[in-house]
Chains A and B, each alone.
Chain A
Amino acid sequence: GESVGLHLPTLSVQEGDNSIINCAYSNSASDYFIWYKQESGKGPQFIIDIRSNMDKRQGQRVTVLLNKTVKHLSLQIAATQPGDSAVYFCAEATSGGSNYKLTFGKGTLLTVNP
């Protein structure tokens, strides 16, 4: 079965609000996590990543939080814009033998209302 899953399949927010997308993982050996954004008809676009030796990482308008205790990952998008509307996937990998094999969740559809 899937080792990565998402709590909310859809999320609708107003433009300018902050968005939080959650992800749970079950493989305690996973030590690398990535968030991808996928717009309709396009390939996944790298947003931000985090390694297990960190619990927070910030990018431009995005923050990823990692809680290894409860195996939970979240993506926060500040001041959400219509262009942020897309499906967001979390993915995990394990360093070592299979560090190349990303395992994806099913995705969360984010809709930003103007």
Chain B
Amino acid sequence: NAGVMQNPRHLVRRRGQEARLRCSPMKGHSHVYWYRQLPEEGLKFMVYLQKENIIDESGMPKERFSAEFPKEGPSILRIQQVVRGDSAAYFCASSPPIPKETQYFGPGTRLLVL
């Protein structure tokens, strides 16, 4: 009965490189959410996806960030040309269709940009 899985747990990138963060939702969950957490702050909503659809990406930076949740496989959060300000913990959450609000979080990916 695995929970939300994320990998890698830690990721180090140099400025200008690409970062790919993966999230596998809990079994039976079809809704995925990505949040970003800066040190000593709360989580900030980034994007909400269902299979093959982006429902709301209002929290995503306009450039360099993208997310997908393909029909098969994990959800991917992609950050192109990373900058030091992208260093943060990125959390994925998933929920069943009903009730949609109950979100269960993964362990996070800690991205460090050198």
Write out, one digit per residue, whether chain A residues 75-106 have a CB within 8 A of any chain B CB (1) or not (0): 00000000000000101010100111111111
Chain B residue at minimum C-beta to C-beta distance from A94: B101
B63 adjacent to chain A (CB < 8 Å): no
- With A46-B104, A101-B56 known as contacts, the answer to whether A106 contacts B40 (CB < 8 A) is yes
Binding site for B on A (CB under 8 A): 2, 4, 32, 34, 36, 42-46, 49, 89, 91, 93, 95, 98-107
- Identify the interface centre among A2, A95, A101: most chain B CB within 10 Å of its CB: A101
Interchain pairs with CB closer than 8 A, number: 67
Interface membership of B42, Cβ < 8 A:
yes
Interface size on B, residues (CB 8 A): 27
Chain B interfacial positions (CB closer than 8 Å to A): 4, 6, 31, 33, 35, 40-45, 48, 55-56, 58-59, 91, 95, 100-108
Closest to A104 in B: B42
Contact sample, A vs B, 19 pairs, CB 8 Å cutoff: A4-B42, A43-B6, A44-B43, A46-B103, A46-B104, A49-B101, A91-B43, A99-B100, A99-B101, A100-B56, A100-B100, A101-B45, A101-B58, A101-B59, A102-B45, A102-B101, A102-B103, A103-B45, A104-B35
